[in-house]
């Protein structure tokens, strides 16, 4: 741990301790201070220990701002700090934490509107959609730190506090840093988010705002010059010195998003006291309808820099033979006006057996897109809406969006889903069926690019996606089974020549996924399995099988004061022609010269929890050498070798 990081961690922990000192010294679980929200919170699927902090998401807030979820205070998965290695994700990267990543499955961009076309950092980015909005009765903080070989450092901090019973402010910070096990592989990234959530005392007005900054810096080594050198020297402990294609190249990604949403609610009235400190009853509006406006500003900047004078591996040199200094810029300013109904019923009253909720919106986008030799300013107008029809026997959810005017004119999306709830042994389960159809113009960078090594000017037609899926799920039994079929017409992909191309025919994609957590006494067997098959062409390359598992034994000691988990994680995917990586455009493309996969990774770990403090020790890739020396994360990019240990701790402050 370097001095700067040590100081940051200790300072954050001290701030959290001071902030919570009064609360922790005089706990009062029987306090009469009630929450603003009257409806019961959603019942969590894990154990909680009287924590007052609860959260929601942007999507759930739009549907019903009174539904909150309990913060997880359990021990499970505390050792899974990297989203690429998380058991719920099926991703791969360039062999170092917080490096460009790509999914091991096929999916498309479901968001209608302008798409610039860079997604290599999506799994690590903080966004307004995955940000959490909190409501707390007392300050809540969560600090996590992980350290390991090759200067690996991961730090996460969350602090949330209600300024008044009706106004919350939250801060979120994540830091990734690792020099990597191979030459010129340093990664350095961070996410910082600030959000606020305000509801007026009468609950007729709500404001939600957020500001997010993401930065990722990565040294590009271009992959191995010769794979055989790695495989014949893999038994050696030190991999430094193996020849890589690039030794002076770096990339930097920065984006910022600023969002402010305002809601005005109309509904039924009730006069009551919300808090004991209220002097007189106030008028409460139980929301039925809303009118809202959202202003969103998004900025993205990407730079690729290479000071090497030897650029023969790229073939083309279009601008400068002494260095590469490519940059891309993207800005999107949007205004959205919405109206709709809210899924809500007054407390202590049963919901109506049949309900219909409708919503509609109009959105305007102003886009500025740049690359080294061209600026483009375009606009879009989007219109859409949704319906939620609920009965005691089924629920139907439908959404539709169309772009009648603008750069993406003619793009549309239609999606519908029906769910049938049912009970098994008194526990809730759900069966769902869904259909969707989307037509989208290819991404901006797929159509136009002029950089130091790559140039194209394409006129691709729109890609069309037809999707059908069915699923079975249960929070009580901890499972979800999904079957999905997609028909893709005119797919745009990056071919063997690293250039974007468009498929001439239709592609068929079939996927089966299963997530099931078993518990046999104190033994936990958590599994995530993905099977997929592609027919009609070779424009999509994914493994037939991908598996993630976490198996551990949980025990409690000292009258349940100490909880421990001892076990291991395992990752595996079948052999396939994985996507190769092109540093000059930071994108993944098809290759047919090397298959990777059919190699299991085992990560033993031990973790423990005492009250609000959690700690773990983890050895990653412990079985290096037992299954050969072909452990590639991406062709020519080896996965890192056995790590001695990763140590991590997590400390939560709450009441």
**One-character DSSP codes across 493-555:** EE-TTSSEEE-SSEEEEEEEEEEEEEEETTEEEEEEEEEEEEES-SS----SEEEEEEEEEEE
* Sign of the dihedral defined by the CA atoms of residues 442, 443, 448, 452, in that order: negative
Nearest to 647 by CA among 147, 81, 157: 147
Other CB atoms within a 10 A radius of the CB of residue 624 amount to 19
- Domain layout of the chain by residue ranges: 3-653
> Burial of 459 by CB count in 10 Å (0-12 exposed, 13-18 middle, 19+ buried)?
exposed
- What does residue 342 show for φ and ψ, rounded to 5 degrees? -110, 140
Contact yes or no for 623/641 (Cβ under 8 A):
no
pLDDT of 465 > 90? The answer is yes
- CA nearest neighbour of 418 among 396, 389, 440, 403: 396
Q: Looking at 60-204, which runs of residues are DSSP E strands?
A: 69-70, 91-92, 102-103, 133-135, 140-148, 152-164, 167-178, 187-199
> Is the Cβ–Cβ distance between 549 and 87 less than 8 Å?
yes
Run of H or E residues at 232? helix 227-233
Q: Quick count: other Cβ atoms within 10 Å of Cβ 92?
A: 26
Characterize 36-62 residue by residue with b for buried, 16 or more Cβ atoms within 10 angstroms of its Cβ, and e for exposed: bbbbebeeeeeeeeebbbbbbebebbb
Instruction: Report pTM.
Output: 0.87
Residue 549 vs residue 342, higher pLDDT: 549
Q: What percent of the chain has pLDDT over 90?
A: 64
Average pLDDT over every residue of 594-604: 95
Q: What radius of gyration do the chain's Cα atoms show?
A: 26
Contact assessment for residue 549 and residue 573, using Cβ atoms and an 8 Å cutoff:
no
Mean pLDDT, all residues of the chain = 87
| Tens digit of each residue's pLDDT (9 = 90 or more) over 471-513 | 999 988 899 999 999 999 999 999 999 999 999 999 999 999 9
- With H, G, I as helix, E, B as strand and everything else as coil, classify residue 101: coil
**CB distance 182 to 149 below 8 Å:** no
- Alpha-carbon gap, residue 590 to 218, rounded angstroms: 22
Examine the pLDDT at 352 and tell me if it is beyond 90: no
CA–centroid distance for 384 within its chain: 25
Tens digit of each residue's pLDDT (9 = 90 or more) over 62-89: 878 888 898 888 899 999 999 999 989 9
**374 and 448 in contact (C-beta within 8 Å)?**
yes
pLDDT recorded at residue 307 = 86
Q: Which carries the bigger pLDDT value, residue 424 or residue 213? A: 213
Is domain 3-653 annotated with CATH 2.40.170.20? Answer: yes
Bridge partners (DSSP) of residue 324 are: 306
Confidence at 9, pLDDT banded by 50, 70, 90: very low
Q: What is the spatial distance between Cα 494 and Cα 593, in angstroms, rounded to a whole number?
A: 16
Evaluate whether 71 touches 51 at the Cβ level (below 8 Å): yes
Rounded to an integer, what distance in angstroms lies between the CA atom of residue 90 and that of residue 608? 26
CA distances from 227 to 39, 577, 587, 630, 638 (A): 60, 15, 21, 9, 9
In this predicted structure, what is the pLDDT of residue 654? 85
pLDDT band at 630 (very low <50, low <70, confident <90, very high): confident
Summarised one tens digit per residue, pLDDT across range 531-548 is: 999 999 999 999 999 999
What average pLDDT does this structure show over 31-56? 45
- Residue by residue, what is the 3-state secondary structure of 583-602? CCCCEEECCCCCCECCCCEE
Cβ atoms of 41 and 69 within 8 Å: the answer is yes
Spatial contact of 513 and 479, defined as CB atoms under 8 Å apart:
no
Judge whether residue 33 has pLDDT over 50: no
**Where do we find the tokens 């493309």?**
589
Closest C-alpha to 386, from 418, 417, 360, 412:
360
What six digits make up the tokens of 402? 């169309």
| 626 vs 49, residue with greater confidence | 626
């Amino acid at each position: 741990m370097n001095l700067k990081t040590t100081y940051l961690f200790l300072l954050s922990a001290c701030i959290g301790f001071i902030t919570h000192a009064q609360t922790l010294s005089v706990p009062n679980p029987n306090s009469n201070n009630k929450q603003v929200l009257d409806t019961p919170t959603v019942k969590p699927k894990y154990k909680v220990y009287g924590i007052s902090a609860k959260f929601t998401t942007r999507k759930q807030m739009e549907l019903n701002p009174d539904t909150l979820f309990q913060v997880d205070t359990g021990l499970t998965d505390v050792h899974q700090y990297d989203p690429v290695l998380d058991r719920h994700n099926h991703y791969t990267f360039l062999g170092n934490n917080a490096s460009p990543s790509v999914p091991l499955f096929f999916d498309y961009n479901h968001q209608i509107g302008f798409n610039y076309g860079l997604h290599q950092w999506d799994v690590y980015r903080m966004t307004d959609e995955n940000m959490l909005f909190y409501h707390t009765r007392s300050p809540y903080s969560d600090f996590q730190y992980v350290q390991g070989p090759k200067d690996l450092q991961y730090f996460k901090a969350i602090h949330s506090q209600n300024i008044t019973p009706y106004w919350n402010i939250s801060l979120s910070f994540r830091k990734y840093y690792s020099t990597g096990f191979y030459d010129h592989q340093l990664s350095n990234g961070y996410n910082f988010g600030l959000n606020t959530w305000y509801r007026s005392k009468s609950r007729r007005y709500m404001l939600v705002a957020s500001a997010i900054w993401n930065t990722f810096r990565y040294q590009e080594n271009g992959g191995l010059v010769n794979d055989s050198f790695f495989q014949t020297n893999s038994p050696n402990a030190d991999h430094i010195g193996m020849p890589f294609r690039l030794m002076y190249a770096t990339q930097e990604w920065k984006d910022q998003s600023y969002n402010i949403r305002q809601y005005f609610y109309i509904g039924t009235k009730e006069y009551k006291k919300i808090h004991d400190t209220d002097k007189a009853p106030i008028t409460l509006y139980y929301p039925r309808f809303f009118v809202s406006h959202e202003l969103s500003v998004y900025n993205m900047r990407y730079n690729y820099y290479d000071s090497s004078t030897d650029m023969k591996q790229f073939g083309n040199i279009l601008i400068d033979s002494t260095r590469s200094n490519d940059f891309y810029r993207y800005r999107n300013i949007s205004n959205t006006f919405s109206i709709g109904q809210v899924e809500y019923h007054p407390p202590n009253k049963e919901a109506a057996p049949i309900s219909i909720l409708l919503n509609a919106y109009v959105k305007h986008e102003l886009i500025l897109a740049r690359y080294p030799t061209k600026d483009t300013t375009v606009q879009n107008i989007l219109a859409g809406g949704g319906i939620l029809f609920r009965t005691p026997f089924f629920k139907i959810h439908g959404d539709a969006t169309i772009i009648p005017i603008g750069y993406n004119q003619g793009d549309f999306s239609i999606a519908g889903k029906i769910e049938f709830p049912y009970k098994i042994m008194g526990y809730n389960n759900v069966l769902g069926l869904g259909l969707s159809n989307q037509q989208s113009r290819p991404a901006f960078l797929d159509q136009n690019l002029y950089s130091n090594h790559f140039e194209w000017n394409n006129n691709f037609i729109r890609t069309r996606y037809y999707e059908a899926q069915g699923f079975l799920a249960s929070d009580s039994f901890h499972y979800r089974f999904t079957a999905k079929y997609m028909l893709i017409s005119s797919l745009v992909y990056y071919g063997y020549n690293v250039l974007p191309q468009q498929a001439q025919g239709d592609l068929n994609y079939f996927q089966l996924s299963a997530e099931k957590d078993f518990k046999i006494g104190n033994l936990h067997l958590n599994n995530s399995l993905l099977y997929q098959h592609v027919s009609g062409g070779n424009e999509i390359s994914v493994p037939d099988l991908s598996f993630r598992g976490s198996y551990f034994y949980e025990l409690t000691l000292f009258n349940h004061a100490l909880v421990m988990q001892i076990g291991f994680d395992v990752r595996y995917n079948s052999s396939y022609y994985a996507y190769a990586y092109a540093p000059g455009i930071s994108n993944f493309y098809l290759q047919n010269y090397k298959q990777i996969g059919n190699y299991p990774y085992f990560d033993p770990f031990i973790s423990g929890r005492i009250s609000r403090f959690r700690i773990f020790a983890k050895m990653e890739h412990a079985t290096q050498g037992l299954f050969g020396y072909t452990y590639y994360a991406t062709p020519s990019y080896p996965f890192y070798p056995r790590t001695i240990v990763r140590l991590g701790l997590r400390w939560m402050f709450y009441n």
